[in-house]
Amino acid sequence: MLCVVHTFYSFMRGASSPEALCRRAAERGHTAVLCADRNGFYGLVRFLAAARRFGVAPVVGVHLEHEGRHVIAVAKDPKGYEILCPWVSRRHLDPSFSLEKDFPDAGSHVAVISADAGFLQAVSSKVETYVGVVAGPVGRKALRLARELGIPPVALHPVYFADPEDFSLHRLVRAIDTNSTLSTLDPRELASPEAFLKPPQDAERHFPHCPDAVARGEALMRGCFADWGRFETVFPHYGDGPGDRFDELVRRCREGIVRRYGRSFPELEKRLAVELELIHAKGYVDYFLVVADIVGRRPIHCGRGSAAASLVSYLLGITHVDPIRHRLVFERFLNPHRMDHPDIDVDFPWDERDLLLEEVERLYGSHRFAMVANHVGFGARAAVRETAKVYGMSAADIAEVTRRLSGWTRPERIGERIRSHPAFRGFPLDPPWPEILELAARLEGLPRHLSVHCGGMVLAPDRVDRRVPVERAAKGVRIIQWEKDQAEEGGLVKIDLLGNRSLGVIRDALTMVEENTGRRMDYASLNPLDDPQTQSLLARGDTMGVFYVESPAMRQLQQKTCRGDFEHLVIHSSIIRPAANRYIHAYIERLHGKPYEPFHPALKDLLEETYGILVYQEHVVLCAMALAGFSWAEADGLRKVLSKKSREQIEDYRRRFEDGCRARGVGEDVIGAVWDMFTSFAGYSFCKPHSASYALVSFKSAWLKVHYPAEFMAAVIANGGGYYTAFAYVSEARRMGLKVLGPDVNESRWKCWGKGRKIRLGLQLLRGIRREAVERLLEERSRNGPFASLDDLWTRVALLPSDAVVLAKSGALDGLAGAFHRAQLLWWIHARCTEPGDKGVRHIASTRGRARGFGKTQGKLGAKNNLLERGSDTVPVPALPVPDATLLWRHEQEALGFVLSAHPLACDEAAYRKRPRPWVRAADMPRLVGETVWLKGWPITRKEVVTREGDPMAFVSFEDETAIYETVFFPDAYRRFCQTLGWERPYALRGTVEESFGAVNLAVSHLEPVA
Amino acid sequence: MERAVVHLHVPDFCAVLEGLRDPSRARRPLVVADPGGRAVILALNPLARREGIREGMPCAVALRRCRALQVVPPDRAFYRHAHETLLRDLGAFSPLVEGGALGRYFVDLSGTRRLWGPATDTACRMEEHFLHRHRLATRAGLAGNKLVSQVAAECVGVGDVSWVFPGGERTFLHGLSVEALPGVGAKTAGRLMDFNIRKVGDLAALSPGELLPVFGGHAPRLLRLARGEDDLPVVPFEKEATLRLVRDLERDEIDRDRIEALLFDLTEEGGWILRRRNRIPGRVLVEVRYADGVEVQVARDVKPMGQVLDRLLFETVRDCARSVIRRRVAVRRIAVTWSRFRVPLRQLALFPEAGWAEGRERRIQAALDAVRRRYGRQAVFWGVTICGHAGEGA
């Protein structure tokens, strides 16, 4: 009998992980497991690993469903898998796919099982065929079919979940998937409650009438290849076919030496020889050439990650940080002991990445190219939302719960969050919420659908779909069915081409500088590391908008350290990780001269440049080698385990580390202190080459901010993203003394533009306007010149009333409005844009004469176009009351999402006046250290963290009309005010001004919303 | 003859009634809301309003704002009864009395001067009547039409009468906010705000020709509102014979089987009443309120039948419910209303339409009714309702 196991990679059907199913299979006496997920091999690598772990023989198959017809195809050996992958790919990629016609000639490598007579008859000559018999009346019909066709029957037991109690989870995911409720869910969408992984003898009891079918299933399983070892590693090929291109690599490195250094020198030669030898030995020659070829297609990029430690990368132009000058260790990227295959990550301007990927696909051929997939699962919010919908909860009720869950909460932590987080304090969770939350927590880890990885790309030497099925993502690109971890395990060495907004900022700023001043600067040769003004800006922490150092924590660190040189910036970029807070304080103290002793004499030289603190990932590796005597591979394993947060594996490494240290006579206190520092690398941490690469981009950004502030800030606003909202960047620009002008149909471009001391906001910032309308407008303007009047604009560009209203409310039409004020302008637009067939317009024709006759004051449409003189174009505009500032602010808020002509706190001045408090200005905070003060505040950004005791607290940045300032909500204050603290509204804050190494912040003791 | 229309408004009608029913409640902030933490506020008393609570606010939010808040479930039958009692009382002053929303009344006093004296005095007398007889504080507006009288009532405090002299409507409305006009909703007010038309006077000053291109067909009505012109008569309240049964679910329900079990129970109750009253309904209206406050309804003709049979009656109700309950949101309240009654025909048809099945159904119904007459309604019930009972038990 054949148990056809569907894991949760049969998206929204299976309810159990491959690990859970393999564990149960082993416990219940199955010797082999056939995993046949729907329409793909999405979880194949995980399934094989789980089968190895629990000691069951894995059998690989696929359950293909097409137009309501079902076929189970079993790969009897690896060749069978290679045959099935393209078949599955065609099912996804080819709209004219036919189960029979497209079925490959698989010989004895594949067996197919179906109850579809047409399919079985059509393919019986190409492949081993069986009629699938399931328990119940349908199975009896299948047995008759088997007799009629003369095809042997095989007993099947479909499995969709590991245990009987998982049926409720299966029902839930089906209801979510079909947008229904539990009671209205079509029974045909559900598996049977019996579809759990039963012991073989229990499953066999359903087939007393066909023992031969049961035996045949077992025989089929036994005949399948079960020794699925490691997958062959697949590197891309440079050029058209296989061949040794080492000489080509050497030649290009030599060219790189001339370009980067001018001439060679012994240290360089020695290092280059070592790297080239290792690259050759590990088979990375083509890989480097391919990456170099790709990055050569775009002038602005940033090679990052451990590959930035490679001299070869630097010489090929993949990375831009000199690994010799900055002492970057190549072994972090490649070393003889490293078993896995590291990839190279390269950042490109965010809006160029998709085009670049298209270019690569064209260049190498579609069949060789595919993006890596993401298996999108449920976060806590999505899990709660979807489950609650199945239970019929209203959208408002769901929002009340989900907004209290952090976006980072995982479903399994929902219960803990509800119990411990102050946002849930006093929040009643009446039935059926407890049931919903319990079920939602069970959605942990369940994949829901595929999406495209943000940059991972696979280039196969021949065809990608020989190794893994390929399908098309919603955005149209080809993606493999595996996510990055399975792709790596499956031997596919990916190349990461990632989008980076700050590179877009730098590109746009350089373009503006060139157009405004004629000064052309090349991104790669821009090397401002020694520019004193840039260093000074970084040392002040005046870095809003500057790549990687603009977060409040980073700005404060820069202020506290007062260091703006490259070497320190590299350290700061790495030490700022979340779990390292306690070491940051020690670092700052030591930086300012506090004496310290290294943990151990063996670490003295290793940690000298970082003041005895472990900062980079290499430090973990090297410390483990120095203190515990780990080999490089073992120590690198520790690094990887730390970043993946696997508690079980971390404990194993801890034991081994402690044993190793003790064996080498290291004291217990040192072991404890070093291990504590190791754990600060949990979650995410960086290697030095990565930090150095990013610090270089930070320097380039900071240089532009110092020397071309208007161009830089315009580019920051234009590229969006970043740590702050557009409004916060506009405020920062104003604090820098720049004038920010609103959008204008004759002056604005699509993107924001900076020149001199002015920034003109782009039409890209308008909300609620169709992009094609703006593009048409800009195209018309560039073709036939600026618009002379409103009427000219309306004549030349067809605008919908809704688009025109947004333009007017943003102030973009003020330049054409002539004598009209904003209210009259909007009136004119509504009157002018009324559709010809509309009731209103018919009235216009009949009442126009009367309207004039009323003797109302008629407005004019501009000096050159008095509509009263233009006969049929006349639109009567009455003398409406002149709008005050509050109405204009409201319009700006609607059209731009923020108030441009005043600080938002000014809009609520009346509300502040009602609260007579001894207000102080944020700019005066440094003079008020130690005092309790009242401040006005508009929230800018916020970060919630958890203390070592597990209490949530928050760092929130506010600004008033004078400065941006940082506040701390310690756990007690956060408990009281977390439900009051929101966005887009003014607050009154009371707290104590505190100072640490020159950086001031406010420890909040009271918070109240003002409006 | 000069028209005189009085508008009487009992502010916070439902909350005040709850306060009167239990005076201890009146001294603390009180809101009327359906049971459950996530219900919205339907009505509130002035003390709750002072705490910043408003109609439509989620109950949970209101409770966070005011820890001492009393939440009372709505008793709609009680409010409706009180409303109708007040309407009847006002009938003593004029035959033309119209009841709008709960706690709002229009009384046409045109031509009653010789009977009752000046209309202002009559309005005061009505207020006093409400206060002394029913302990309800009202405010009153007196004007030449319903529109202005309603606006006028909103401009004074409780116990006062606002009188707008005939011909003074435009002057009276001139300085008021456009939102004060009944019929100007948030959307129209927002649009007027774009044009910086905030006062009624600004709107009234515009000519039809100016308004038409912008407001199209709505312009004349808007202008009439702004100018205080309203020729709608006061229409006396007339009640059509209906049987309306309402179920407020203790817990929001999404399970279709349980909802249908409840509907069957409701239909049985309706059938029982109709048979005792010897009426056959011609039309049924099913109203559903979802947990998010959205209300939907559907009406259908009831299939002709010679006698009220619960299961036949339920077929129409179930079809209505299935066509209307389509959202993936739980149901909070269901109401079924039967109307267009007729008396059953006693004469047997020459060629009976109903076959053997209906005859059997009649016998079952008769047996059930016999048991229930003797032992009570709960003595026997259909199996389909067990789902509902089991659900409650679970």
Other CB atoms within 10 A of residue B277 CB: 12
A364 and A456 part of one domain: yes
The answer to whether A881 contacts B214, with C-beta atoms less than 8 Å apart, is no
- Position A852 scores a pLDDT of 35
- Position A343 scores a pLDDT of 87
The answer to whether B328 contacts A392, with C-beta atoms less than 8 Å apart, is yes
CB-nearest to B291 from A393, A850, A876 is: A393
Q: Is A611 helix (H, G, I), strand (E, B) or coil?
A: coil
The answer to whether B215 contacts A840, with C-beta atoms less than 8 Å apart, is yes
- Position A84 scores a pLDDT of 96
Task: Name the residue of chain A whose CA is nearest to B57's CA.
Answer: A396
Q: Which domains does chain B have, with CATH numbers?
A: 5-10+78-226 (3.30.70.270), 13-75 (3.40.1170.60), 243-393 (3.30.1490.100)
A66 and A196 part of one domain: yes
Which ipTM was obtained for this model? 0.76
d(CA A376, nearest CA chain B) in Å: 24
- Position B68 scores a pLDDT of 84
**Is B94's pLDDT higher than 80?**
yes
Q: Listing from the earlier edge strand, what are the strands of the sheet with B139-143?
A: B97-99, B104-108, B5-9, B139-143, B161-163
Using CA atoms, how far apart are residues A174 and A291, in angstroms rounded to an integer?
43
A-B Cβ pairs (cutoff 8 Å, strict): 133
Beta strands in A921-986 (DSSP E): 932-946, 952-959, 964-969
State whether residue A93 sits within 8 Å of chain B by CB: no
Looking at residue B178, the DSSP 8-state letter turns out to be G
Using CA atoms, how far apart are residues A252 and A236, in angstroms rounded to an integer?
18
Residues β-bridged to residue A303 = A346
CB-nearest to B256 from A184, A400, A856 is: A184
d(CA A868, nearest CA chain B) in Å: 14
CB-nearest to A878 from B193, B210, B217 is: B210
- Position A558 scores a pLDDT of 95
State whether residue A844 sits within 8 Å of chain B by CB: yes
A824 and A892 part of one domain: yes
A850 and A791 part of one domain: yes
A987 and A960 part of one domain: yes
Cis peptide before A918 (omega within 30 of 0): no
Q: Is A285 helix (H, G, I), strand (E, B) or coil?
A: helix
The secondary structure of A406-449, three-state, reads CCCCCHHHHHHHHHHCHHHCCCCCCCCHHHHHHHHHCCCCCCCE
d(CA A843, nearest CA chain B) in Å: 6
Residue ending a domain, choose from A405, A421, A444: A444
Query: pLDDT, tens digit, for every residue of B335-364?
Result: 999 999 988 766 666 665 555 567 788 889
- Position A868 scores a pLDDT of 32
Task: Name the residue of chain B whose CA is nearest to A876's CA.
Answer: B210
d(CA A440, nearest CA chain B) in Å: 17
Distances from the Cα of B393 to the Cα of A390, B140, B386, angstroms: 22, 51, 10
A250 and A153 part of one domain: no
In the numeric block, which tokens belong to residue A929? 């250290």
What residues contact B285, with CB distance under 8 A and at least 6 apart? B297, B298, B299, B320, B335, B336, B337, B338, B339
State whether residue A428 sits within 8 Å of chain B by CB: yes
Q: Of chain A residues 786-815, which have a CB less than 8 A from chain B?
A: 805, 809
A40 and A112 part of one domain: yes
A579 vs B381, higher pLDDT: B381
**Is A846's pLDDT higher than 60?**
no
State whether residue A834 sits within 8 Å of chain B by CB: yes
CATH number of the domain residue A143 falls in:
3.20.20.140
- Position B356 scores a pLDDT of 58
Query: pLDDT, tens digit, for every residue of B227-270?
Result: 999 989 998 866 678 899 988 888 889 999 899 999 999 999 99
**Is A232's pLDDT higher than 50?**
yes
Residues of B in contact with A895 (CB under 8 A): none
Buried b (16+ CB within 10 A) or exposed e, A247-285: ebbbebbeebbeebeeeeeeebeebbeebbebbeebebb
Q: Is residue A562 part of a domain?
A: no
- Position B357 scores a pLDDT of 66
Is residue A905 within 8 Å of residue B218, measured between CB atoms? Answer: no
Strands A449-459 and A495-500, how do they pair?
Answer: antiparallel
Residue ending a domain, choose from A896, A921, A954: A896
- Position A225 scores a pLDDT of 82
- Position A874 scores a pLDDT of 66
The answer to whether A851 contacts B207, with C-beta atoms less than 8 Å apart, is yes
Q: Listing from the earlier edge strand, what are the strands of the sheet with B331-339?
A: B243-253, B331-339, B283-290, B295-301
Using CA atoms, how far apart are residues A741 and B354, in angstroms rounded to an integer?
81
Q: Is residue A742 part of a domain?
A: no
- Position A839 scores a pLDDT of 43
Domain that holds residue A931: 904-1009
Q: What is the largest CA-CA distance in chain A?
A: 104
- Position A840 scores a pLDDT of 38
Name the percent of chain B in helix, strand, coil, to the closest 5.
45, 20, 35
Share above pLDDT 90 across residues of chain A, in percent, rounded to a whole number: 72
A157 and A55 part of one domain: yes
Of A390, A405, A279, nearest to A342 by C-alpha is A279
A858 and A974 part of one domain: no
pLDDT confidence tier of residue A837, bands split at 50, 70 and 90 = very low
A478 and A431 part of one domain: no
Q: What mean pLDDT value characterizes chain A? A: 90
Q: Is residue A185 part of a domain?
A: yes
- In sign, the C-alpha dihedral spanning A829, A835, A840, A846 is positive
- Position B196 scores a pLDDT of 94
Task: Name the residue of chain A whose CA is nearest to B259's CA.
Answer: A183
A959 and A852 part of one domain: no
In the numeric block, which tokens belong to residue A319? 């990375």
Share above pLDDT 70 across residues of chain A, in percent, rounded to a whole number: 96
CATH number of the domain residue A934 falls in:
2.40.50.140
Is residue A163 within 8 Å of residue A196, measured between CB atoms? Answer: yes
State whether residue B291 sits within 8 Å of chain A by CB: yes
Using CA atoms, how far apart are residues B56 and B293, in angstroms rounded to an integer?
10
d(CA B382, nearest CA chain A) in Å: 21
- Residue where the block lists tokens 């080459």: A689
Using CA atoms, how far apart are residues A129 and A120, in angstroms rounded to an integer?
7
- Position A303 scores a pLDDT of 92
Using CA atoms, how far apart are residues A221 and A243, in angstroms rounded to an integer?
40
Using CA atoms, how far apart are residues B215 and B200, in angstroms rounded to an integer?
16
Query: pLDDT, tens digit, for every residue of A52-83?
Result: 999 999 999 999 999 999 999 999 999 999 99
Q: Listing from the earlier edge strand, what are the strands of the sheet with B30-33?
A: B41-44, B30-33, B70-72
Q: Is residue A474 part of a domain?
A: yes
Give Rg (Cα) of chain A: 33
Residues of B in contact with A390 (CB under 8 A): 328
State whether residue B253 sits within 8 Å of chain A by CB: yes
The answer to whether A392 contacts B206, with C-beta atoms less than 8 Å apart, is no
Lowest mean pLDDT among A35-49, A147-161, A833-847, B224-238: A833-847
Is residue A572 within 8 Å of residue A543, measured between CB atoms? Answer: no
Q: Is residue A697 part of a domain?
A: no
The answer to whether B214 contacts A876, with C-beta atoms less than 8 Å apart, is no
Q: What is the helix (H) or strand (E) element at residue A62, kind and residue range?
A: strand A57-66
Q: How many residues does chain B have?
A: 394
Task: Name the residue of chain B whose CA is nearest to A401's CA.
Answer: B38
**Is A517's pLDDT higher than 90?**
yes
d(CA A401, nearest CA chain B) in Å: 11
Using CA atoms, how far apart are residues B23 and A220, in angstroms rounded to an integer?
82
Beta strands in A834-929 (DSSP E): 919-920
**Looking at the 3D structure of chain A, how many domains does it have?**
5
Task: Name the residue of chain B whose CA is nearest to A846's CA.
Answer: B209
d(CA A443, nearest CA chain B) in Å: 20
Q: Is A349 helix (H, G, I), strand (E, B) or coil?
A: strand
Q: Give the ranges where B76-195 is alpha helix by DSSP (H).
A: 76-90, 113-116, 119-134, 146-154, 169-174, 186-194
The answer to whether B209 contacts A840, with C-beta atoms less than 8 Å apart, is no
Query: pLDDT, tens digit, for every residue of B260-300?
Result: 999 999 999 999 999 988 899 999 999 998 887 788 899 99
Using CA atoms, how far apart are residues A569 and A321, in angstroms rounded to an integer?
14
Lowest mean pLDDT among A113-127, A260-274, A328-342, B138-152: A328-342
Of A43, A41, A40, A38, nearest to A20 by C-alpha is A43
A116 and A205 part of one domain: yes
Share above pLDDT 90 across residues of chain B, in percent, rounded to a whole number: 54
Distances from the Cα of B189 to the Cα of B193, B195, B199, angstroms: 6, 10, 10
Is residue B126 within 8 Å of residue B90, measured between CB atoms? Answer: yes
pLDDT confidence tier of residue B100, bands split at 50, 70 and 90 = confident
Using CA atoms, how far apart are residues A838 and A873, in angstroms rounded to an integer?
17
- Residue where the block lists tokens 């908008």: A545
Q: Is residue A111 part of a domain?
A: yes
CB-nearest to A844 from B207, B213, B291 is: B213
Query: pLDDT, tens digit, for every residue of A179-217?
Result: 999 988 999 999 999 999 999 999 999 999 899 999 999
Beta strands in A698-792 (DSSP E): 739-741, 753-755, 758-760
Task: Name the residue of chain B whose CA is nearest to A851's CA.
Answer: B209
Q: How many residues does chain A have?
A: 1011
- Residue where the block lists tokens 């009188």: B163
Q: Is residue A521 part of a domain?
A: no
CB-nearest to B290 from A394, A848, A881 is: A394
Task: Name the residue of chain B whose CA is nearest to A829's CA.
Answer: B214
Task: Name the residue of chain B whose CA is nearest to A387's CA.
Answer: B328
**Is A867's pLDDT higher than 60?**
no
